[in-house]
Amino acid sequence: MIISFKCKDTEKLASGRRVRRFVNFERVALRKIRQLQAASQLDDLKVPPGNMLEPLYGDRQGQHSIRINKQFRV
């Protein structure tokens, strides 16, 4: 489902490289990226509920995000 990355660090993490600023939540972030890559449709991301799938607004209308933690989302 992932087509492209805006953040270079997120792209590095997805390709298997370590990123210093993601050290505290690296495993969770990598798991969420894998869920995004495996999803064939948006509804696949509603489970588990902890993903907190939510639509974005403003200049990101038409896009969605899932939560990594309270501070970060992809």
Domain range annotation of the chain: 8-65
Q: What is the mean pLDDT of residues 26-31?
A: 94
CA angle (3 as vertex; 69, 15 as ends), nearest 5: 65
Any residues with CB less than 8 A from the CB of 37 and at least 6 apart, and which?
1, 2, 14
Q: Is the pLDDT of residue 3 over 80?
A: no
Instruction: Write down the pLDDT at residue 67.
Output: 95
Average of per-residue pLDDT across 49-62: 93
Reported confidence tier of residue 4, pLDDT bands at 50, 70, 90: confident
